[in-house]
Each structure stands twice: as structure tokens, then as C-alpha cells.
Structure 1
Amino acid sequence: MKTIQTQARYVEWLSPEDMHNTSQEWLSELKFTKDEHLFFEDLITTFTTQLIESGKFSDNKEIIDAINRSEKQNNLLIEAIKIHENELQVMVDGIDQLEEEKAYTKEHSDLIIAIAAFLKEYKSLKTQLFSIIKNIKKEEKLRHLIDKK
């Protein structure tokens, strides 16, 4: 007889107020991320020629494409959270709707996982982009020093 191992899953009970506050924090962070995406676009525009000239063009293009995908995913998450916030009424209306409340709680836990994964990937992309720009600036500085001699 085979035994099946299951993983215990502990679900923290969250009040509607806690879920609302969490959603507001997510929105704030994702809106800031949206502003950062605009900054990245300006940064990429500024360093376009260096990104193209670099011997690592394909790697740079992949990072830029990943940032563009990240921007689209960020917008989708913002919309999902806004919809999620609007559906909070199910939790606070005082009517026992167990299935709807359970579905809302499940959606909230799914959003927790999705946003955590998105932010982890986003921070990695951000680090990679800044590393590329840092290397470009170092190369420019080195070329400038060599040209001065």
C-alpha cells in the first residue's frame, strides 16, 4: 500500500478590512512600478545607441523585451486588483454568501501569490537593467579618459 504525502496548507483568516488594506498597498506599489517603467523607457531611449552598439545586443534586447512584458503584466495586475477591490462588497454586506465569500478569499490568496511572483521577477529585471546601464556608463567613462590622453 502506498502512502500519499500531502502538504499541510495553513490559510490565515483575513478580515475584509485586512484584505482592503492589502489591496490598497498592492495598488500603491504597482502604481509606483508603473512610474518606474516610464523611467526605464526614458533610460532605454537615452542609451539606445549604446545598447545597440554593445556586443551583447541580443541579451540587452531580451531584457528590454522582458521589461515591456513586465509593464503589460503590471497593468493587468492593477486592473485585477481594482476589480478585486470592487468585489469586496461580498465580504461586508452582512449577507451569508459562503460560496461567493470563499471564492473572494481564494481570489485574494491567488493575488498574493501572483503579486509576490511579479515583484520578485520585476526586481530581478530592474537589477539587470541597472547593471547594463552601469556597464555602459563605465565604458563611456573609460573611452572618455582614453580620448583625453
Structure 2
Amino acid sequence: MKVKNEKFNYTEWFSADEINEHSKDWLSQLLFIKDEHQFLLNLIQTFSTKKISKNQLNQLEDFKNAINENEIMLHSLISQVKKHMNQLKILVDGVNQLEMEHGYKKTHKELFMSMNQYMLDYRTVKERGFAKLTSIMKITKPSNNNE
């Protein structure tokens, strides 16, 4: 007797409700990051108005550029997740469309991997940026309002 060796993808095990929950969670995370980007850009602007060295100003500019580059991917992911959420009906419409359903689940898996990579990349951007801000804060003396 020959044993059939089948490969199963993780998406084959998720229900439509679980896939929908993933998508809603992703969108929530991405929208939070969008707000966080604005906060970080405002924070950078605050630091850039202080008396800092040219090197420190360059560090702030690097952080700002990293956020702006990250934001490009952010907007793309937001669009992809929203589109993915709108197409969920493929799984729940009761119509047997195996090819489309398979495509939808494949897209979900790709989004899952893209989200994981994006979150890792974003975390790296923030860690490096905060390290730069921290070093600038340590070097920069607080302004004295009594002068």
C-alpha cells in the first residue's frame, strides 16, 4: 500500500471567522502604526529645533527618512488588508469556487508573512530611531527657562 504524502498549509486550518479576525487585527495594528508615525515625526521635529550638532541633525534626518520609507510599505499593506477583508465573501458566500477560495487563502498566507516581516522591520526602525534620540537626549542639555 502506498502512503499519500500530502502537504497542508496553515491556512487550510483557519475558518473564515479566524481569517477575518486576523485581517481585523492586522488593520488595527497598521492604523495604530500610522498614528505612531505621525507622533514620531512630530517628536523628531521637536528635537530638530533644539541646538544640536550637525551629526545629531543627520541622525534625526536618518530616522525621519526611515519612517518615511516605512510609511510607503504601511500604506500598501493597509490597502492590501482592506481589499483582503472585502474579498472574504469568497469563503462565506456558499458558492463552491475552489480555485478562488484557494487563491484567497494563498493571499492570506502571503499577507501573514508580509505582516510579520513588516512588523519586524518597523520594530527595527523604531529601535534604531529611539537609540538615536536617546543619545541626543543624553548629550543635549535641557534648556533653562530662567535665563
TM-score band by shorter chain is: 0.7 to 0.9
TM-score (norm 1): 0.82
Aligned twin of 1:55: 55
1:1-149 maps to which residues of 2 (within 5 A)? 10-12=8-10, 13-49=13-49, 53-55=53-55, 58-141=58-141
Q: Which runs of 4+ in 1 moved over 2 A?
A: 49-64
TM-score (norm 2): 0.83
SS of corresponding position for 1:73 = helix
Deviations 1:103-138 (A, max 9, x none): 000000000000100000100110111111111111
Shift of residue 53, structure 1, vs aligned partner: 2.5
Aligned twin of 1:4: none
Kindly indicate whether the alpha-carbon contact (under 8 Å) linking 2:52 and 2:140 is maintained by their aligned counterparts in 1.
Answer: no
Kindly indicate whether the alpha-carbon contact (under 8 Å) linking 2:48 and 2:57 is maintained by their aligned counterparts in 1.
Answer: no
Kindly indicate whether the alpha-carbon contact (under 8 Å) linking 2:41 and 2:64 is maintained by their aligned counterparts in 1.
Answer: no
Shift of residue 28, structure 1, vs aligned partner: 0.7
Kindly indicate whether the alpha-carbon contact (under 8 Å) linking 2:59 and 2:132 is maintained by their aligned counterparts in 1.
Answer: no
- In structure 2, relative to structure 1, the CA distance for the partners of 1:23 and 1:41 (3 Å cut) is same
How far apart in 1 are the matches of 2:7 and 2:42? Answer: 44
Shift of residue 49, structure 1, vs aligned partner: 4.5
Kindly indicate whether the alpha-carbon contact (under 8 Å) linking 1:51 and 1:60 is maintained by their aligned counterparts in 2.
Answer: no
Of 8-17 and 88-97, deviating more is 8-17
How far apart in 2 are the matches of 1:58 and 1:46? Answer: 14
Which runs of 5 or more structure 1 residues have no equivalent in the other structure?
1-7, 145-149
- In structure 2, relative to structure 1, the CA distance for the partners of 1:66 and 1:14 (3 Å cut) is same
Residue 22 of structure 1 aligns to which amino acid in structure 2? H
Residue 135 of structure 1 aligns to which amino acid in structure 2? S
- In structure 2, relative to structure 1, the CA distance for the partners of 1:56 and 1:44 (3 Å cut) is closer
Shift of residue 47, structure 1, vs aligned partner: 1.3
